[in-house]
């Protein structure tokens, strides 16, 4: 989970942008402004309600961002993570929890899995320990090299739709915090369907623009603030359509959290309620609780589990 900072220059501000005129989900060309007060230049499809950035960055320039600084930088809150590697234990705990859930749908036999957007490979390393035969994919060359060097797993470098992986090969494909970044979400989900065996399971998670926290906080929703590089904002209905239209039956919808240290949690809390964070930070220092981890579910990240249709 990234840490919010203010007054940091936006890394991607210089990236060339092009105007997207057609809805990626339904092909409609009519849009209306969506929550213009948040300053993100969002529009909403008038037919299927998909929310997206009208002026989208060039994907190749965008991917050039995902070097080492994306996973370790001092200006996250705009781009990337404060220190992804230092958060390894929390990411592993979150991975175990998510895998335990998805394994309810994959059956006792654990076969081949692919994690799209595998970052440093902590998720696939946990999956391996749980009995899966694992592969990763990431657009970040730094991340791919890290996984290969440290774990030795097969890790593919590039956008999923450019990788040409074998058809009907995987039993499980996971895609966490990825679909909101890609220039063609429909193409990515179609590709996942091609790569899965019939009956294979797909799980993805993304910020939920239709969630109660999003609707209650409006332009101040943390989902708008945290990531300069998010180009699509899905809701449960638009994600369901994305899956249904591209070969999947939805099995389960839930909101998921992650394990965080108290220090990070207080930092996040300070974003919404600065008046609460000062006294809590004092308490945290006094009781020396900084590195204690616990599960936080802000109810605005949606995870959908789906099965490839026969």
Contacts to Zn ion by CB under 5 A? 23, 25-26, 28, 45, 47-48, 50
Any residues with CB less than 8 A from the CB of 98 and at least 6 apart, and which?
123, 174, 176, 203, 256, 303
Give 32 or 288: the residue with its C-beta nearer to Zn ion.
Answer: 32
* Burial of 143 (C-beta count, 10 Å sphere; 0-12/13-18/19+): buried
Give 187 or 213: the residue with its C-beta nearer to Zn ion.
Answer: 187
Give 22 or 297: the residue with its C-beta nearer to Zn ion.
Answer: 22
Please tell me the distance from the alpha carbon of residue 97 to that of residue 114, in angstroms, as a whole number.
17
CB of 215 to Zn ion, least distance (A): 20
CB of 25 to Zn ion, least distance (A): 5
CB of 133 to Zn ion, least distance (A): 37
Give 28 or 244: the residue with its C-beta nearer to Zn ion.
Answer: 28
Give 55 or 149: the residue with its C-beta nearer to Zn ion.
Answer: 55
CB of 45 to Zn ion, least distance (A): 3
Please tell me the distance from the alpha carbon of residue 176 to that of residue 301, in angstroms, as a whole number.
10
Give 235 or 277: the residue with its C-beta nearer to Zn ion.
Answer: 235
CB of 47 to Zn ion, least distance (A): 5
CB of 34 to Zn ion, least distance (A): 12
CB of 37 to Zn ion, least distance (A): 23
Residue carrying structure tokens 């320990």:
129
Give 26 or 289: the residue with its C-beta nearer to Zn ion.
Answer: 26
Cα 180–chain centre separation: 7
């Amino acid at each position: 989970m990234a840490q919010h900072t203010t007054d940091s220059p936006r890394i991607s501000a210089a990236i060339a942008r092009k105007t997207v005129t057609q809805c990626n989900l339904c092909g409609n060309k009519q849009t209306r402004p969506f929550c213009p007060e948040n300053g993100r230049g969002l529009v909403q499809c008038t037919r299927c309600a998909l929310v997206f950035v009208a002026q989208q960055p060039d994907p190749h320039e965008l991917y050039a961002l995902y070097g080492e600084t994306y996973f370790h930088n001092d200006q996250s809150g705009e781009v990337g993570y404060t220190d992804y590697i230092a958060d390894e234990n929390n990411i592993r705990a979150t991975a175990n929890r998510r895998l335990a859930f998805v394994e309810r749908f994959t059956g006792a036999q654990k076969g081949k899995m692919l994690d799209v957007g595998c970052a440093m490979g902590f998720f696939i390393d946990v999956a391996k320990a749980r009995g899966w035969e694992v592969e990763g994919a990431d657009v970040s060359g730094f991340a791919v090299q890290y996984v290969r060097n440290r774990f030795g797993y097969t890790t593919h470098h590039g956008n999923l739709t450019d990788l040409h992986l074998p058809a009907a090969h995987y039993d499980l494909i996971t895609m966490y915090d990825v679909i909101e970044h890609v220039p063609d979400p429909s193409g990515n989900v179609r590709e996942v369907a091609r790569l899965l065996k019939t009956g294979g399971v797909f799980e993805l998670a993304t910020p939920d623009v239709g969630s109660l926290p999003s609707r209650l906080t409006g332009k101040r929703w943390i989902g708008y603030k945290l990531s300069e590089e998010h180009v699509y904002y899905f809701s449960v209905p638009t994600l369901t359509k994305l899956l249904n239209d591209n070969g999947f039956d939805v099995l389960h919808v839930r909101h998921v959290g992650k394990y965080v240290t108290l220090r990070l949690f207080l930092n996040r809390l300070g974003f919404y309620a600065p008046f609460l964070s000062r006294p809590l930070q004092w308490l945290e220092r006094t009781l020396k609780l900084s590195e204690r981890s616990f599960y936080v579910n802000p109810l605005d990240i949606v995870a959908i589990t789906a099965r490839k249709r026969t």
